[in-house]
A and B are shown apart, each in its own frame.
Chain A
Amino acid sequence: MTPHLLYAFTGLLLFVTGLFGMIALDHLLRKLLALNLMGSGTFLVLVGLAQHRNGVDPVVQALVLTGIVVAIAATALGLVLIRRYYHLSGRSSLEPDTNDEAGP
């Protein structure tokens, strides 16, 4: 059990914690935070597992940098949408749609 592998298992735990939050929490900001937790967990698994295997691995470090930028873009877009949604409807959660009977 190298420290890198410990990181990978921690990442796994974070991922599932984030997934739980994503489903169980209602507030949109919390959902977005849960999503970021899932993202961080994924990056930890990516780096931890690869470095356990290869030692220092510049490829995964670069991948994670790319992944972080993508995650930031998505989070920022989500925040802008949430702010505008809150501004227009005064609500901070996605309630079930009443007028179009859209699934769960």
Chain B
Amino acid sequence: MMAWLMAGLLFTPLAWAVMSLMAGFRAGWRLAWLGMAVQGLVSVLLWLAIADQGGFYYALGDWPAPLGIELRVDGLAVTFILLTATVATACGLHAGVYLDPDKPWQRYFWPLFWFLWAGLNAVWLGADLFNLYVGLELISLSAVGLVALGGAGDALRASLRYLLAALVGSLFYLLGVALIYGQFGTLSLGGVAQLAEDHTALAGAGIALALMLAGLALKTALFPLHGWLPPAHGIAPSPVSALLSALVLKASFYIAARLWLALGETQGSYGVAQLAGALGAAAVLWGSWMACLQPRLKQVVAYSTVAQVGYLFLLFPLTWQVSDQISQQAQEGMTLQVISHALAKAAMFLAAGNLVLSTGSSKVEDLAGVGRFLPFSLFSFGLAGVSLMSLPPSGGFAAKWLLLQATIGSGQWWWALVLIAGGLLSAAYVFRIYRASFQEASGQDDFHHPPRRLEAIPMALALLSLGLGLAGEPVLAIMGLPFEEDG
């Protein structure tokens, strides 16, 4: 049973990538329905199985680590797998209607989409440092391909910049892996963590950890390394932007968090933890401020991603040498922030795509009057905004509440100021969009109505993000399940 679930999880996206490469865009879409159904079913079943039995290690090819590659199937991983299935299905359904099927290059959308999904699943489950590198590259290259698909000059420039940044980040990570292997003689994260506990404060391992974190921060677009993100996320077709902002960024952050939680305590330092937190705080303020200034709608949403990713990096100072309870709170806050931001940002990008489709312009000022024509998409945009502003009862609120408790509990009150200021600034840019949309139009009223389904999908995602605040408890209960080390 478990073997079948793992198989379905890892190999359906790859198999679907191969099959949809053979099909055209329309056939690929019909195929995608089936694939998304299989992925969704498998993710839910696996989630239930883990909730029932707890986590375990899964050795591929029956070669246990350190010789072979092991997958770590635990509560956090299955939570993210379920999140990926939800968001990717929504983006896939949106893309099937949103993208123009008659453009010859769109047929390559589905293979890249499925490869991206496969890479994400590989990263959530990865417990082998080098395998994580390959998974990251799988994600980066398919994401770059999706941004560049059918692209004109601007899209190509954005995707080239994205490619170069992503590759430099990967190489920093890989250099760190090389040093870790030289130090500990194994690539399995579990094995490394065990050795690191016996030999604390190795200078080389500390430097390797810093290298890996720096590379992953570049890939996660942490301030001031975020320059590549707004052009790439702003110019890609909306379903692709939603995938990139909601999931792709989280993959590199997830690895950074896993590394930090495994090695940070023994090989990290106060300076590294505070630096990561400070850069995250700067990202929150700078990203929100830039979002208030952007002339284009999707750039506003893209800069908002820069800001929201900043919150995640507060995990580093809030889990370094604090009591287990505070660390647990910070981790739960981080998980909820990842989930609620993924849902809300996907909703926001998809809704923004609908608005752009309907007004025929990507500028914020051209939204004038759209408030009377497209209230549904605008409403989804606003609901997603509620989660980003972290108002109760949204998932964003629950996340920041936990982070706030961890800040106070660990006596690092300065991060609390960032949490409050970030909430206010994000309210400013969401209301800016609203103000523009409800302004009376000056003669502009030729709005195009997108199909109903395009409007329903962002609404569903926004409602999920809102409801997460109410259903946070059971989600966190699964995430924190004890892990059977011998399983």
Question: B140: which A residues are within 8 A, CB to CB?
Answer: 74
- Count chain B CB atoms within 10 A of each CB in A38, A41, A63, A103 and give the residue with the most: A103
Q: Which of B295-348 contact A (CB under 8 A)?
A: 295-296, 299
Chain A neighbourhood of B45, CB < 8 A = none
A57 to B250, CA, bound (A): 34
Q: Evaluate contact between B174 and A97: CB separation under 8 angstroms.
A: no
The minimal Cβ–Cβ distance linking B173 to chain A, given in whole angstroms, is 10
Q: How far is the CB of A65 from chain B (nearest CB, A)?
A: 12
Describe B's contact surface by its main secondary structure: helix
Docked complex: A29-53 residues within 8 A CB-CB of B:
31-32, 35, 38-39, 41-42, 45-46, 49-50, 52-53
Is B6 part of the contact surface with A, judged by Cβ < 8 Å?
no
Query: What per-residue 1/0 map shows which CB atoms of B130-158 lie under 8 Å from chain A?
Result: 10011001001100110010001110110
Inter-subunit contact A50/B163 (CB<8 Å): no
Q: Mark B167-210, 1 if CB is under 8 A from A, else 0.
A: 11001001101110110010100000000000000000000000
A104 at the interface (CB under 8 A from B): yes
Q: Is B231 an interface residue (CB 8 A)?
A: yes
Task: Write out the residue numbers on chain A whose beta carbons fall within 8 Å of the beta carbon of B160.
Answer: 28, 78, 81-82, 85, 94
| Cross-chain contact B179 with A49 (CB below 8 angstroms) | yes
Kindly state whether residue A6 has any CB partner on chain B within 8 Å.
no
Provide the residues of chain B in CB contact with A13, threshold 8 Å.
none
A45 to B161, CA, bound (A): 26
Nearest-CB distance from A89 to chain B (Å)?
Answer: 4
Which of A19, A59, A70 is the most central at the interface, judged by chain B CB atoms within 10 Å of its CB? A70
The answer to whether A77 and B163 have CB atoms under 8 Å apart is yes
Residues on the B chain within 8 Å of A35, using CB? 164, 167-168, 171
- Residues of B contacting A81 in the complex (Cβ-Cβ under 8 angstroms): 144, 148, 156, 159-160, 163
Query: Which residues of A from 47 to 88 have beta carbons under 8 Å from B?
Result: 49-50, 52-54, 59-60, 63, 66-67, 70, 73-74, 77-78, 81-82, 84-85, 88
Could you say which interface size class chain A belongs to?
35 or more
- Contact at A88–B130, with CB atoms within 8 Å? no
Docked-complex contact B231 and A100, CB < 8 angstroms: yes
- Select one of B163, B230, B296 contacting A103, CB under 8 A: B230
Selected A-B contacts with CB under 8 Å, 28 pairs = A15-B175, A32-B164, A35-B168, A41-B175, A42-B171, A42-B174, A45-B178, A45-B179, A46-B178, A50-B178, A52-B182, A60-B181, A67-B133, A70-B137, A73-B137, A74-B163, A77-B145, A78-B163, A81-B148, A82-B160, A84-B156, A88-B156, A89-B156, A94-B157, A97-B157, A100-B234, A102-B234, A103-B230
Interface residues in chain B, defined as those with a beta carbon under 8 Å from any beta carbon in chain A: 130, 133-134, 137, 140-141, 144-145, 148, 152-154, 156-157, 159-161, 163-164, 167-168, 171, 174-175, 177-179, 181-182, 185, 187, 224, 226-227, 230-231, 234, 293-296, 299
